[in-house]
């Protein structure tokens, strides 16, 4: 890649896309092509085709997708399979036809079988049944991988497929119904700390900035909605989390992922998928203790077992990526602290 190359980052306002843009700019790439979903709906094949014909990017980072946590995946299966199939099919096909030199596609660790051996090696793909809460999204992602591999074989198109583990970072989705676990925990513990202090004005600010607080969470916080804000109902705030807390997850800071994306765009051209992770995991309960300590909430945590646990464990084997010379830099605790501090600042703006 040259610094003058024209680079399209699809999904540049999202968690991953915004981190890739930061990384590219920091490295001196300046000819970036960016479109919001309002400007270019990637589900619209004709619009995507016109865009590639006009803009003629050299490289594509495909970070636009329908993404969400366990509850969103489980609740909106049609949206997850349809939007992802449409977005990735339109972008990969148009990129190939309009002379893109190389495309990077992002899958996810959830493409692997639910019960596969740990840590998960790349060759375990399609060796067993998927986790039910996200099989629609996983099937779409597997189709994206197969499309990249088929386009390489038939057309010689240089498309690579990265499988990141669970990600977190700035510009994440903090909506308590649709987000992933880490942004949800950071926000829930923060709200509980504010409720402990009786700072109802700050809770109203949080809701204006990060979206509606669901009724069950308000109840756990010991709050009731009023016509003008919130009032306390005389009960100590608790943090309500989902499932049993026993599943294990691995977390990668999105700035590390963006670094790996640029590294692999420059050094990897193969049809085999490649895992991107940190090589160690924690239980959801351990994660809750870590976030609780960082945010500084003193009260109790309760587990809502009416919500699903999802996959028991999905720890990636990252030896292939390490063998190429890449390893992550940001430790989980430091990364969470950075995100928590930033969301504190954002709440005030």
Ligand X SMILES: NC(=O)C1=CN([C@@H]2O[C@H](COP(=O)(O)OP(=O)(O)OC[C@H]3O[C@@H](n4cnc5c(N)ncnc54)[C@H](OP(=O)(O)O)[C@@H]3O)[C@@H](O)[C@H]2O)C=CC1
Which residues bind to ligand F7E, rule: CB under 6 A?
Answer: 68-71, 73, 108, 110, 134, 137, 166, 179-181, 184, 241-243, 247, 249, 284, 307-311
**164 is an annotated ligand-binding site residue:** yes
- The alpha-helical segments, DSSP class H, found in 124-283 are 135-155, 181-197, 200-210, 215-220, 254-267
Q: 36-56: buried (b, 16+ CB within 10 Å) or exposed (e) per residue?
A: eeeebbbbeeeebeebbeeee
Q: Minimum Å distance from CB 167 to ligand F7E?
A: 7
Question: What radius of gyration do the chain's Cα atoms show?
Answer: 21
- For residue 8, indicate whether it is catalytic: no
Q: 3-class SS at 205?
A: helix
Q: Minimum Å distance from CB 138 to ligand F7E?
A: 6
Q: Which does 134 bind (CB under 5 to 8 A by kind): ligand X, ligand F7E, none?
A: ligand F7E
Contacts of 129 (CB under 8 A, 6+ apart): 113, 114, 115
**Alpha carbon distance 189, 181 (integer Å):** 12
Site residues, ligand X (CB under 6 A): 11, 13-17, 36-37, 41-43, 63-67, 83, 87, 106, 108, 164, 166-167, 173, 180
**Which residue's C-beta sits nearest to ligand X?**
14
Our separate counts of H helices and E strands in the chain read 12, 14
Nearer to ligand F7E, 306 or 349 (CB): 306
Nearer to ligand X, 67 or 100 (CB): 67
Q: Which does 14 bind (CB under 5 to 8 A by kind): ligand F7E, ligand X, none?
A: ligand X
Q: Which does 57 bind (CB under 5 to 8 A by kind): ligand X, ligand F7E, none?
A: none
Token couple for 112 = 């692997």
Q: Which does 69 bind (CB under 5 to 8 A by kind): ligand X, ligand F7E, none?
A: ligand F7E
- Other CB atoms within 10 A of residue 326 CB: 18
User: What single DSSP character describes residue 132?
Assistant: G
Q: Minimum Å distance from CB 176 to ligand F7E?
A: 7
CA-wise closest residue to 161 among 271, 256, 255, 19 = 271
Nearer to ligand X, 171 or 219 (CB): 171
**17 is an annotated ligand-binding site residue:** yes
Contacts of 320 (CB under 8 A, 6+ apart): 122, 274, 275
Q: Which does 49 bind (CB under 5 to 8 A by kind): ligand F7E, ligand X, none?
A: none
**128 is an annotated ligand-binding site residue:** no
Active site residues: 137
Q: Which residues are annotated as a binding site for NADP(+)?
A: 11-17, 106-109, 141, 164-167, 180
């Amino acid at each position: 890649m040259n610094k003058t190359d024209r680079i399209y980052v699809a999904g540049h306002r999202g968690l991953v896309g915004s981190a890739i843009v930061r990384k590219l700019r920091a490295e001196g790439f300046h000819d970036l092509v960016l479109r919001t979903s309002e400007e270019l709906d990637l589900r619209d094949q004709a619009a995507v085709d016109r865009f590639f014909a006009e803009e003629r990017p050299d490289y594509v980072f495909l970070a636009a997708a329908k993404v969400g946590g366990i509850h969103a995946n489980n609740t909106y299966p049609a949206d997850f399979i349809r939007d992802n199939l449409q977005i990735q099919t339109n972008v990969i096909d148009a990129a190939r036809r309009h002379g893109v030199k190389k495309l990077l596609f992002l899958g996810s660790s959830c493409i692997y079988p639910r019960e596969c051996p740990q840590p998960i090696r790349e060759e375990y793909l399609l060796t067993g049944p998927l986790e039910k809460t996200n099989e629609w999204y996983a099937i779409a992602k597997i189709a994206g991988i197969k499309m990249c591999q088929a386009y390489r074989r038939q057309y010689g198109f240089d498309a690579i497929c990265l499988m990141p583990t669970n990600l977190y970072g700035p510009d994440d989705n903090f909506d308590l119904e649709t987000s992933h676990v880490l942004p949800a925990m950071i926000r829930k513990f923060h709200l509980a700390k504010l409720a402990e202090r009786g700072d109802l004005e700050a809770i109203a600010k949080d809701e204006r900035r990060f979206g509606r607080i669901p009724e069950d969470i308000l109840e756990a916080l010991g709050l009731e909605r009023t016509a003008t804000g919130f009032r306390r109902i005389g009960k100590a705030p608790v943090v309500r989390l989902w499932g049993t807390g026993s599943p294990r997850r691995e977390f990668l800071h999105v700035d590390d992922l963006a670094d790996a994306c640029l590294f692999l765009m420059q050094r990897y051209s193969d049809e085999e998928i490649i895992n991107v992770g940190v090589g160690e995991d924690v239980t959801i309960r351990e994660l809750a203790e870590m976030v609780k300590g960082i945010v500084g909430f003193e009260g109790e945590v309760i587990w809502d077992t009416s919500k699903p646990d999802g996959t028991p464990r999905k720890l990636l084997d990252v030896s292939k990526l390490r063998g190429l010379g890449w390893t992550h830099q940001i430790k989980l605790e430091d990364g969470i602290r950075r995100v928590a501090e930033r969301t504190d600042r954002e709440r005030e703006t």
